[in-house]
Amino acid sequence: MIKSRLSEMLGIKYPIIQAGMGPFSNNNLCVAAANAGVLGLLSTSGLFNKDDQPWIYKAFVESGEAGMDDDMATVMEKVLKRTYRRSRTRAASSGSTSWYRRK
């Protein structure tokens, strides 16, 4: 563990931030980062490609175990919940979903 103001504020082990890298969903990377003790961020840019790049949208939807007919809010909710569930059950020290857990 590396103590820093950032790691204490965010409740993470190491003061490292894994950036969201779109347009593809990176929730598996986000979970891995959180489980390693750093802040993992989700890329949500794939959510806005439904019409012009449907293959990217489909990959984003499937990564959250959502359906192609779900509305944007439902897809995002499912992606967030799946990410939270996976990082939580693997005993991450907080990481990507620390903000979500506090709600």
The total number of structural domains that make up the chain: 1
Q: Taking 70 as the threshold, does the pLDDT of residue 20 lie above it?
A: yes
Which has more confidence, 89 or 15? 15
Q: Each residue of 41-94: pLDDT tens digit?
A: 888 888 888 899 999 899 989 988 999 999 999 999 999 899 888 886 443 433
Q: Taking 70 as the threshold, does the pLDDT of residue 102 lie above it?
A: no
The 3-state secondary structure of the chain reads: CCCCHHHHHHCCCCCCEECCCCCCCCHHHHHHHHHHCCEECCCCHHHHCCCCCHHHHHHHHHHCCCCCCCCHHHHHHHHHHHHHHHHHHCCCCCHHHHHHHCC
For range 31-45, the mean pLDDT = 88
* Per-residue confidence (pLDDT) for residue 88, from 0 to 100: 67
